[in-house]
Amino acid sequence: MSIQGYEEELRSERDYVAGLYARLDAERARVKDEYDTALGGTGGTPMERDVRVRTSAREVKRLDLGDNGLCFGRLDALSGEHSYIGRIGLFDEEDDYEPVLLDWRAPASRAFYVATAASPENMRRRRQFHTRGRQVVDFTDEVLGRPDGDERGDAALLAAVNAPRGDGMRDIVATIQSEQDEIIRLDHPGVLVIEGGPGTGKTVVALHRVAYLLYTQRERMERHGVLVVGPNPSFLHHISRVLPSLGESDVVFTTTGGLVPGLRATAVDTPEALRLKGSLKILEVLRAAVADRQRLPENPLPIELGGVTARIDAETAAWARDEARASGQPHNEARAVFTEIVTYVLTERAISRIGKGWLSRSDREAWERTRADLVKELSADAAFTAALDELWPVLTPRDLLGALLESPERLRAAGADEALRRADGSAWTVSDVPLLDELVDLLGADKSVDRAAERERKAAAEHAAAVLDGLVGRQDSMDDEDHLFATDLLFAEDLAERFVEHDTRSLVERAEADRDWTYRHVVVDEAQELSEMDWRVLMRRCPGRSFTVVGDLAQRRSEAGATAWGPMVEPYVPGRWVYRSLTVNYRTPAEIMGVAAAVLADFAPGVQPPESVRACGVAPWSRRVTEDGLAAAVEEFVRDEAQREGTCVVIGPPDVPGTVAVSETKGLEYDAVLVVEPERILADGPRGAAELYVALTRATQRLGVLHRGPLPEVLAGLTAVGSHPQR
| pLDDT surpassing 50 at residue 153 | no
Asked if residue 196 belongs to a known ligand binding site, the reply is yes
Query: What does the pLDDT look like over 40-92, one tens digit per residue?
Result: 766 666 666 677 777 777 778 788 877 778 998 999 999 999 999 998 999 98
- 425 is an annotated ligand-binding site residue: no
Q: What phi and psi values does residue 514 have, to the nearest 5 degrees?
A: -115, 110
Flag whether 201 is marked binding. Answer: yes
Q: How confident is the model at residue 368 (pLDDT cuts 50, 70, 90)?
A: confident
- How far does Cα 636 stand from its chain's mean position? 38
Classify residue 651 as exposed, middle or buried by CB count within 10 Å of its CB (0-12, 13-18, 19+).
buried
Identify the bridge partners of residue 676 per DSSP, sorted by sequence position: 706
Report the residue count for the chain.
727
Q: What is the pLDDT of residues 490-518, one digit of tens each?
A: 344 444 444 444 567 888 899 999 999 99
Would you call 276 exposed, middle or buried from its count of C-beta atoms within 10 A (0-12, 13-18, 19+)? Answer: buried
328 secondary structure, DSSP code: T
Residues 517-530: what's their mean pLDDT?
A: 96
Distance CA 530, CA 545 (A): 17
pLDDT of amino acid 399:
97
What is the structure's pLDDT at 177? 84
Is 609 one of the annotated binding-site residues?
no
Count other C-beta atoms under 10 Å from residue 144's C-beta.
24
SS3 category, 240: coil
> Which helix (H) or strand (E) segment is 499 a member of?
helix 492-501
Helix/strand/coil percent split, the chain, to 5: 50, 15, 35
Return the higher-pLDDT residue of 363 and 491: 363
Q: Say what the pLDDT of residue 45 is.
A: 66
Question: Mean pLDDT over residues 648-660, rounded?
Answer: 92
The answer to the question of whether 203 is labelled as a binding residue is yes
DSSP 429: B
pLDDT of residue 222: 79
Taking 50 as the threshold, does the pLDDT of residue 471 lie above it? Answer: no
Give 637 or 142, the one with higher predicted confidence.
Answer: 637
Is the separation of the CB atoms in 625 and 633 below 8 Å? Answer: yes
Within 13 A of 612's CA, how many CA atoms are on the CB side? 20
CB 601 within 8 A of CB 689: no
- Within 10 A of 485 (CB to CB), how many other CB atoms are there? 14
Annotated binding-site residue? 202: yes
Structure confidence at residue 406 as a pLDDT band (50, 70, 90): very high
Angle at 401 between CA 396 and CA 407, to 5 degrees: 130
For residue 306, is pLDDT > 70? yes
